[in-house]
Amino acid sequence: MNQTRFSIFFSMVLMISSAMAEEAVYTPLFSDTAVGGYDPVAYFTEGHPVKGSKRFPLEYKGATWYFASEEHRQMFQANPGKYAPQYGGYCAWAVAHDTTARGDPLQWTLHEGKLYLNYDAAIRKDWEQDKAHWIREADRFWPTLSR
């Protein structure tokens, strides 16, 4: 699919999903797993995504979060606002456009001590061109998009 057709398709998906308020944390259909099962603390401590283990779960904001270690689970529990992805793990670029889409835990950015997820590599590339602008826009829209 060429970039123009992808942009049109993605815009249509975004418009359809914007009509509904979303849960506070993105989880896939038929699952309550946050961040695709990846350990949100690891982005900060390891510098890359690390799959969490079912041995170290934590319930937070209606979702189950998994961690690679008990230490990471405790770090998150002590300060979830520091480690949880912004906008509940929804695509930050989509939120900046007043809608939601799933965030891919492999398409991530740390910016000023916060974790952001994006829908895919193409969206992440656009996001990284002007993160400060997209963050301002997403911060403006997020309160009306989430429950």
Please name the amino acid found at residue 44: F
| The pLDDT of residue 141 is above 90 | yes
Three-state SS sequence of 108-126: EEEECCEEEEECCHHHHHH
The alpha-helical segments, DSSP class H, found in 18-145 are: 42-45, 70-78, 80-83, 92-96, 121-129, 131-145
Say what the pLDDT of residue 146 is. 85
Q: Measured between alpha carbons, how far is 92 from 128 in angstroms, rounded to an integer? A: 11
pLDDT in tens, 45-94: 999 999 999 999 999 999 999 999 999 999 999 999 999 999 999 999 99
| The pLDDT of residue 20 is above 60 | no
Give domain limits for the chain. 29-84, 85-147
CB distance 94 to 101 below 8 Å = yes
